[in-house]
Homo-oligomer: A and B are copies of this chain.
């Protein structure tokens, strides 16, 4: 098991891949050795993709010594297999630096590179801007790659860092020699503007072509030389000449001919076009200097259809829709210009967010979990269309989206977008309630309307549909967006009433009929997953009804919630936890019966996060959550027999989805019951914290993150049914639970109920501003780091001083607000 904070990863951390890229832009990742991998820029995943001849190199020359030129990566550590060894494009036969140490603190990556023969120390810093509450600032299709070079020698060193990139625009596939094949004719062009210069990689494909796009490798540094297009040829002429050119004097020369072969070129003649950009500086003794590269891209077009594996109608698949970012940038050069001009400010804001997280006093495993899983938001799992729609897969398979339609029962668990980029979640709710809820109240749990395609016809998902109501309440509460609420309200009423008619067969206020759910099967009979969600939805619905002036509705739903609470508790609480009541657990497959389900009171967690309080008896909830930890968390899974998918192995720790501590395991329990999902681990961890079982919650988080250690799994990719799985975004709930942050925009109230002692330092967000909460023994301080925030009431439950409060106040960045004993709150602390 890794310790936390996570140790630096060596070059043999072969699973580590730190993605660069913004929300809805796709990503390219940096491996532990500083290598570029997993080129996923073209609106679809492409794990494992390596572009040939795409790498950075360094040349260092000291007076009177032979210059040293190496690939600016840590060593290849193996395995070294391949059906043709390493193909030439991998350049495995060139020297690399002796060591690399990767420290990824999403969204900032740092890799230290060192080598006894290379006379300088090099640190790579790489990031794509990430600014809370601002999906545009966080949605730049590009990244900064900054090599900071230090000359520790008593003599000057002439240093060149050269970046080389294969043109990837128009790639259609890979031939048996592991080289790309293209549609259209790729071409590389040098461009130069006052603020930025570099190589643009384009193609003559029609602008409406799905593969149309541009990529840029550029710099703001004026001290450049370049070989915008290497020699082309069937054999390796281009790379040989490039490497010899770089080695000779550290300055690149443009090629004067296209190829050493004679035209006309045969049809099989390679269309691979590689270009290089070099930055050179002579570093004085002791000097440090940045060599900054900008890597940007622009692939505007995606098919107007999911084309996923669930089989939603893809009626408009022949049409093209544009990415949101394409409405902001004309091409990759425009993105590079943006990064050149706005980059410093974006970096400052990104670093503020990074500092708020990684400078916090939160347990390191929590910082690790909440930061690393944010990648899911910026992976191909999520996208934004030109018309403003936000939509997402459940996750991404290696080469295609996984399951489509912003699936309600998966996104049910996600908290990160709601708290960091709440406008995205608001848009998802808008889609769900205004476009995907049928007249009879059945919600299509996979949205096909984002592409204007026909609605999907399938069972309704009890957890997703009812959870969407709770989440709409969360979104409305966080934003105070009454228009959203009004737009969605008719759908909310239908969707919630649907539960009474569809899922409560005997009208006793307890859902008990065929209940499709996130385990991709149907539960039958009373169970607390569905019913805790139902109770939470009733409370959320009632609160929204209040806001919209529908007291009769509010009253009816509250009454149903009260009745349901008692009935569910009486029916399903077994003295230790809530279970499923069935006469014969084997009468139908895929039930759990007497099992201890990790999600058994998931609805209660959503209620906590949405400020709805307890929907089931507090002591029973606490007992249930404790039982989940007691029975389902395994410090070592060696005795666990699972024939299902496997995310945690014998020897590893993890929380299983269900166990049968009292016997009664069905012959064939629900699929996934023996699996370990990080999304559910975070759900349970969040809930453990809410119930005061902080150590238990942290233990679960540590298990999940220890499995993702860079050697066994990628720290920046928690997979379930697909990489970068949306459910993993549940992790942000742990942070919310630990600070007890609760923001209620409609009333302008912000409160904190920290579940960690002082001193505490932790980030928080609201709908309009975000910042840091600091609690010392003697006071509490709230500082805004971005946006603005007008509060009627600010409350902090201080661990020693008791409830503190003030307000009204208007917070702005740079103006921290301190609450001391003099702010003792004479009102009851919120919740």
Contacts and interface: CB of A to CB of B under 8 A. Distances in A.
Interface of A: 14-15, 47, 69, 75-76, 78-88, 90-96, 175-176, 235-237, 239-241, 243-244, 247, 260, 309, 395-398, 400, 402, 521, 589-590, 637-647, 649-651, 667-668, 671, 674-675, 707, 711-714, 717, 719-723
B643 A84 contact: no
B47 A83 contact: yes
Contacts of A397: 83-84, 176
24 contacts: A80-B713, A81-B714, A83-B397, A83-B398, A84-B397, A84-B721, A85-B647, A85-B675, A85-B719, A86-B647, A93-B642, A93-B649, A93-B675, A95-B639, A95-B650, A96-B650, A175-B309, A176-B309, A176-B400, A235-B521, A235-B590, A236-B671, A247-B641, A260-B668
A13 to B, nearest CB: 10
A658 to B, nearest CB: 14
A14 B14 CA distance: 13
A93 B243 contact: no
Contact of A711 (B79, B94, B400, B649): B79
Name the residue in A91, A236, A590, A639 with the highest tally of chain B Cβ atoms < 10 Å from its Cβ.
Answer: A236
A555 B94 CA distance: 51
A132 to B, nearest CB: 29
Contact of A78 (B82, B244, B667, B711): B711
Contact of A646 (B90, B674, B711): B90
A179 to B, nearest CB: 12
Contact of A93 (B589, B641, B671): B641
A395 B643 CA distance: 37
Contacts of A674: 93
Given A84-B645, A668-B260, A720-B84, A638 B237 contact: no
A646 B75 CA distance: 14
B668 A237 contact: yes
Number of chain copies forming the complex:
2
Contacts of A711: 78-79
Most chain B beta carbons < 10 A, residue from A15, A92, A241, A671: A92
Given A94-B641, A668-B240, A722 B646 contact: no
A81 B713 contact: yes
Given A85-B720, A236-B643, 4 more contacts: A85-B646, A93-B675, A237-B589, A260-B668
A79 B650 contact: no
B84 A719 contact: yes
Nearest to A234: B671
Contact of A643 (B88, B402, B640): B88
A173 to B, nearest CB: 13
Given A93-B640, A95-B638, A260-B668, A79 B235 contact: no
- Helix, strand, loop or mixed for chain A's interface? loop
Contacts of A75: 650-651
Contacts of A76: 649
Contacts of A85: 645-647, 675, 719-720
Nearest to A637: B93
A84 B79 CA distance: 23
A647 B589 CA distance: 53
A316 B79 CA distance: 40
B719 A83 contact: yes
A260 B668 CA distance: 10
A644 B85 CA distance: 10
Nearest to A590: B235
Given A76-B649, A719-B85, A643 B94 contact: yes
A645 B86 contact: yes
A398 B87 CA distance: 13
A592 to B, nearest CB: 14
B93 A240 contact: no
B712 A80 contact: yes
Contacts of A675: 85, 93
A62 B268 CA distance: 66
Give me the 3 closest cross-chain CB pairs, A-B, nearest first.
A93-B642, A92-B646, A93-B646
Given A176-B400, A639-B95, A15 B723 contact: no
A236 B643 CA distance: 7
A719 B639 contact: no
